[in-house]
Structure 1
Amino acid sequence: MAPLIAPIAKRKNIVIVGAGFGGLAAAQALAEAHADITVIDRRNFHLFQPLLYQVATAALSPADISAPIRSVLRRQANAHVMLDKVTGIDREKRVVLTEGRRAVPFDYLVLATGARHSYFGRDDWAPFAPGIKTLDDATRLRARILLAFERAELETDPAARRALLTFVVIGAGPTGVELAGSIAELARKSVTRDFRSIAPGDMTVVLIEAGPRILPSFRENLAQAAAQSLEEMGVTLRLAQPVTEVTAHTVTISGRVLPAATIIWAAGVKASAAGRWLGAETDRAGRVKVGPDFTTAGEPDIFVIGDTAACVDEGGKALPGVAPAAKQAGAWVGKLIAARLASTREPKPFRYRDKGAMATIGRKSAVVDLGRIRLTGGAGWLLWSAAHVWFLIGFRNRFSVATSWLWSYLTWERGARLITGQEIARARAPDIPIRQQDAA
């Protein structure tokens, strides 16, 4: 009688949708797993979103803060990358549906699809007040900002020129604060030296916040230090003044109409369509409500992480929508799936380790809250710079960003002042039809 041979276990299919911080962390945690991993993303690169605003304000180029997904995972033999857009999920057939009419089977599914802008029910404002979540958003905004300077250089009407040189940022969280500070530097130092008709005093940068102070997630003393730094840079703060109307050329706050050519939205986000794909329960921002193991009700093999998930810890505190939280969740989910595949002990329950918060206000100032360590000014800026360079993927990116920042610090130059996609920029930022009688 022939000896019995144990059948070889079939390799499981793990599909990860989204190659952001959470998705990549999950894939990398599964490097040794006996499974086939498919990473699906609509773009072929991983993006370091915390520095997107620097692309939008011409401090960095897009290549400085991005890396091809295939390059990141090239040494991981069990990982495959698919460039496609997910359109739905068939939970019964256990397949992910894509725009390319593919049906990708899965045994385990990880959704890390991120978030987009939320206009709190006023989506009609979106064409006039774009936000930045993607490289396309950032390069369009960069073109819009730089075109405002170009048009102002040629404008002879004082009111129209004043509107062209008014930049409004709505929302004073970290992104809004960093944008306002970077635009102020760009407008008052870097750009005006290259023009003949524009003086630094012609620029107006306004930061609007509906709440009583900027940086509401930071300690109050740090937020006050940031506010002081912004005001020293010439940024006008409008606090406790919600926006009531946005048009192509104006922002209305407290009954006052403010003419402005460039309006930027940094006030809120909403989750991707993952909740609709799953038919799962979501919160007001569209995030999928998940359990402590990041699974949805009745689906132990489907995980939702990052900005797509609404997760609370043991104390009932919501997991923040920041990169470190997404990375930690992705790594933990990857380890959990690997343990289940290998029938080994599962990792300890997930616990978010808050490593602190940082926000930069300009080339020499930042606020840093690391718990017991709190820094402001130049010391905070140095730590902020070192941390962001360190967490960039790839030596080339780190070297390029560090070199660009050093050059900019020494010379005030911004080498990425390129206007690309002019047709899109002009469509988003039409000429300002403001004359003297309208400015009264």
Structure 2
Amino acid sequence: MCVKQKLVVVGGGFAGIYLVKHINRRLYDVVLIDSNNYHSFPPLFYQIASAGLDPASIAFPFRREMRKLKPLPEYHFGEVKSIDTDKKTVTTQYETISYDRLVIAAGTRNNFFGMADLDKYVFTIKRTSEALRCRNEILDRFERAAICHDADKRRRLLSFTVIGGGPTGVEIAGALGEMKRFLLKREYPTINPDEMTITLAEGSDRLLQTMSNEASAYALEALRHLMVDVQLGRQMKSYSDNTLTFADGESIYSEMVIWTAGVTAATFNTTGTPFSLGHGGRILVDEFNRAIGFGDDIMAIGDISLHATSDNPRGCPQLAQVAIQQARTLAHNLNRHSWHRTFSYHDKGSMATIGRGRAVADLKRLHLKGWPAWMAWMFVHLISILGMRNKVAVLVNWIWAYFTYPTSLRLLIHPERYPLRHRWGES
């Protein structure tokens, strides 16, 4: 009888959760570690940040999802702080866990490109908690502006800048644009929409660099229709005292800056043999997603992994589809104790939405824009969300929001300050 090995999976994003679901748990004792007790859906974080969706609609508890899996995997709450590759252990702030095989699927974090302390002053939407913080700040500014009698102060309160013209930047800028064009006059009649400024700054010469020229042009047109000031070729240099300075020396005033410009791989303190890292701090892997230099003991999948090929010299794009396909391929090989199926990414296309009824989609042989692309975008995202209840909740919200702007989600709920929690870094 084969002795079961202990397989530890770090990270419960698309890569981690799909691996846990597809691995043969009669061959492996599976342990999933994540700092959140739920799987979330990052492509829709911008809708949380703009109060379009409730966080619970795009999150699904690990323990509930795992209940359906037999034999039952384990979930351990905690953030992995260090990995000892010699002793084969991972350590969180709460415990040390040993492993026979380790799969790292910890994803990415925000990359501020060396701009010191920028993370203290800009808003980000890489996690559910960050998106909620962003939502609260936007709503807080609307409420304060609605009762402010100083026109100059209102303009300062309503000065928003989005840094980065990728899908996330375009989507959050579009959501803010819809608020400016349609929401303010309905729910905040004391605010003149012209007092709200939205700037989208992109360092390259076009939006949506990874998509077609047609998609970029449509996104630019759609954002301008939503009264977003799109500035191309504007690379951010610094941000302090509410002044955002660009590399060309020009500056603009903005009290709320939303950063979507870049990511870098999650990092750990490593004892023993270090990982080989590539572009963006990603772990170098072979064609089977095995970490270079560790044989069959350690693997990396998802955004944190990098397998360079002639088609993708910088590795596969950091997309959900890549993570899902890598997880399924790795599970196939682990289940058969045989490294015979190499990973090959099958590109199913890219999508981005710019408000209601406006989207772009680059599929294999088809370029969609406008209403057809928006319908395709909704369908793809709906089927990707975990849980039937969540799918229905999101669909109902989208249908309702198409005809009206529901107020029930625009709740301004600030967390209480006390008691202090040292695990949150409070003092």
Considering only aligned residues, what root-mean-square deviation do their CA atoms show, in Å? 1.7
Question: Separation in 2 of the partners of 1:257 and 1:316?
Answer: 36
- 1:348 alignment partner, one of 324, 341, 344: 341
Within a 5 Å distance, the mapping from 1:63-78 to structure 2 comes to 63-78=56-71
Kindly indicate whether residue 331 of structure 2 is the aligned counterpart of residue 334 of structure 1: yes
SS of residue in 1 equivalent to 2:286: coil
Kindly indicate whether residue 218 of structure 2 is the aligned counterpart of residue 225 of structure 1: yes
- 2:305 alignment partner, one of 284, 305, 309: 309
Corresponding residue for residue 264 of structure 1 = 258
Corresponding residue for residue 82 of structure 1 = 76
Corresponding residue for residue 388 of structure 1 = 381
Paired residues, number = 412
Whether the 8 Å CA contact 2:112–2:118 is kept in 1: the answer is yes
Corresponding residue for residue 10 of structure 1 = 3
Whether the 8 Å CA contact 1:31–1:76 is kept in 2: the answer is no
Structure 2 letter corresponding to 1:124 = D
Query: How far did residue 323 of structure 1 move?
Result: 0.6
Q: Does the C-alpha gap of structure 1 residues 248 and 387 become closer, same or farther in structure 2, counting only changes over 3 Å?
A: farther
Question: Separation in 1 of the partners of 2:53 and 2:134?
Answer: 13
Query: How far did residue 285 of structure 1 move?
Result: 1.8
Gaps of 5+ in 2: 418-427
Whether the 8 Å CA contact 1:206–1:238 is kept in 2: the answer is yes
Kindly indicate whether residue 88 of structure 2 is the aligned counterpart of residue 91 of structure 1: no
Corresponding residue for residue 199 of structure 1 = 192
Kindly indicate whether residue 293 of structure 2 is the aligned counterpart of residue 289 of structure 1: no
Gaps of 5+ in 1: 1-7, 425-440
- 1:279 alignment partner, one of 270, 274, 280: 274
Whether the 8 Å CA contact 1:169–1:176 is kept in 2: the answer is yes
Corresponding residue for residue 412 of structure 1 = 405
Whether the 8 Å CA contact 1:59–1:414 is kept in 2: the answer is no
Corresponding residue for residue 422 of structure 2 = none
Question: Separation in 2 of the partners of 1:395 and 1:29?
Answer: 19
Structure 2 letter corresponding to 1:143 = N
Corresponding residue for residue 434 of structure 1 = none
Q: Deviating runs (4+, > 6 A) in structure 1?
A: none
Q: Does the C-alpha gap of structure 1 residues 305 and 214 become closer, same or farther in structure 2, counting only changes over 3 Å?
A: same
Question: Separation in 1 of the partners of 2:106 and 2:39?
Answer: 12
SS of residue in 2 equivalent to 1:126: helix
Structure 2 letter corresponding to 1:24 = I
Query: How far did residue 373 of structure 1 move?
Result: 1.2
Query: How far did residue 88 of structure 1 move?
Result: 1.1
Corresponding residue for residue 209 of structure 1 = 202
SS of residue in 1 equivalent to 2:90: strand
Question: Separation in 2 of the partners of 1:422 and 1:157?
Answer: 28
Structure 2 letter corresponding to 1:250 = T
Corresponding residue for residue 427 of structure 1 = none
Question: C-alpha offsets along residues 65-105 of structure 1, whole Å, 9 cap, x if unaligned?
Answer: 000011111121231111122111111221211211x2212
Corresponding residue for residue 420 of structure 2 = none
Kindly indicate whether residue 17 of structure 2 is the aligned counterpart of residue 20 of structure 1: no
SS of residue in 2 equivalent to 1:207: strand
Question: Separation in 1 of the partners of 2:270 and 2:317?
Answer: 22
Query: How far did residue 9 of structure 1 move?
Result: 2.9
Question: C-alpha offsets along residues 316-342 of structure 1, whole Å, 9 cap, x if unaligned?
Answer: 4420101110111111112111111xx
Structure 1 letter corresponding to 2:345 = Y
SS of residue in 1 equivalent to 2:175: helix
Structure 1 letter corresponding to 2:83 = I
Percentage identity across paired residues of the two chains: 33
Q: Which has the higher contact order (CA 8 A, sep 6+)?
A: 1
Whether the 8 Å CA contact 1:113–1:272 is kept in 2: the answer is yes
Identify which range, 156-165 or 80-89, moves more after superposition.
156-165
Query: How far did residue 275 of structure 1 move?
Result: 7.6
Question: Separation in 2 of the partners of 1:128 and 1:423?
Answer: 21
Within a 5 Å distance, the mapping from 1:38-77 to structure 2 comes to 38-77=31-70
Question: Separation in 2 of the partners of 1:413 and 1:276?
Answer: 48
Question: Separation in 1 of the partners of 2:387 and 2:264?
Answer: 30
Structure 2 letter corresponding to 1:353 = H
Corresponding residue for residue 424 of structure 2 = none
